[in-house]
Amino acid sequence: MSERDTTYTAFAGARRIASGSLPSVAKATKVALDQGETEPVLILDDETCRVVEVDFRGTPEDVLERLSGGPDAAPGEPEPRGPGRPKLGVVAREVTLLPRHWEWLSAQPGGASVALRKLVEEARRSNESRDRVRQAQEALYRFMSTLVGNEAGFEEASRALFAGDRKLFMALIQLWPKDLRAHAERLSNAAFASEA
């Protein structure tokens, strides 16, 4: 998913404020805060369900300007340079292997780096569907832990999620507040997708 396709959802306690692009969600959240919203407000990245920090100081325009990297935005950290081929996006890191692994890698055409890249790409392709489901489960669990950890059936729903039992999961979340339940149901589409 590209950055421009990423969607976000803001919650004030158990109530959904808005979903959509980060600027539109941040603006709607700022309006809600300015109108006296008293519940704790969180904005989540819908793909990962990680909390997104937004600085709500000033006017809605100030908030949007900071999001777009305007004059008040925090300065970016320069990328550290090290060994490798940075223009190609190659990153050097330490890998620890047994001597027999290094021997096998060294004997491969192109050497250890080429062999490792090929092995990683092959593993990514063969596990792509399973990895996508696992990442969706982790994102849904992160959402649940963040916003519904105190709701009835949370523990049982978590177990059903990781057991792949969609029917039980859906039954257990029915008592959750409407907006939280609806968001969990939406996220569950990818979390319970077939691995085939």
Task: Please tell me the distance from the alpha carbon of residue 135 to that of residue 190, in angstroms, as a whole number.
Answer: 9
Domain closes at, from 67, 89, 108: 67
Number of domains into which the chain is organized: 2
Is residue 180 assigned to a domain?
A: yes
Is residue 39 assigned to a domain?
A: yes
Q: What is the pTM of this model?
A: 0.71
Task: Please tell me the distance from the alpha carbon of residue 81 to that of residue 103, in angstroms, as a whole number.
Answer: 29
| Cα angle for residues 160, 163, 169 (degrees, 5° grid) | 25
Is residue 122 assigned to a domain?
A: no
Task: Please tell me the distance from the alpha carbon of residue 189 to that of residue 87, in angstroms, as a whole number.
Answer: 38
Is the predicted pLDDT of residue 127 greater than 90, yes or no? Answer: no
Per residue in 151-192, pLDDT (tens digit) is 999 999 999 999 999 999 999 999 999 999 999 999 999 999
Is the predicted pLDDT of residue 2 greater than 60, yes or no? Answer: no
Is residue 77 assigned to a domain?
A: no
Quick one: pLDDT band at residue 75, thresholds 50, 70, 90?
very low
CB 33 within 8 A of CB 41: yes
Domain closes at, from 67, 88, 109: 67
Give the mean pLDDT of the chain. Answer: 86
Is residue 49 assigned to a domain?
A: yes
Is residue 117 assigned to a domain?
A: no
Please give the pLDDT value at position 96.
86
Is residue 94 assigned to a domain?
A: no
Per residue in 28-42, pLDDT (tens digit) is 999 999 999 999 999
Please give the pLDDT value at position 12.
96
Is the predicted pLDDT of residue 71 greater than 60, yes or no? Answer: no
Q: Which domain holds residue 39?
A: 3-67
CA distances from residue 83 to 18, 77, 87, 90, 120 in whole angstroms, order as listed: 44, 19, 11, 9, 20
Please give the pLDDT value at position 58.
92
Is residue 104 assigned to a domain?
A: no
CA distances from residue 13 to 160, 179, 181 in whole angstroms, order as listed: 24, 10, 13
Domain closes at, from 67, 89, 113: 67
Which residue has better confidence, 84 or 195? 84
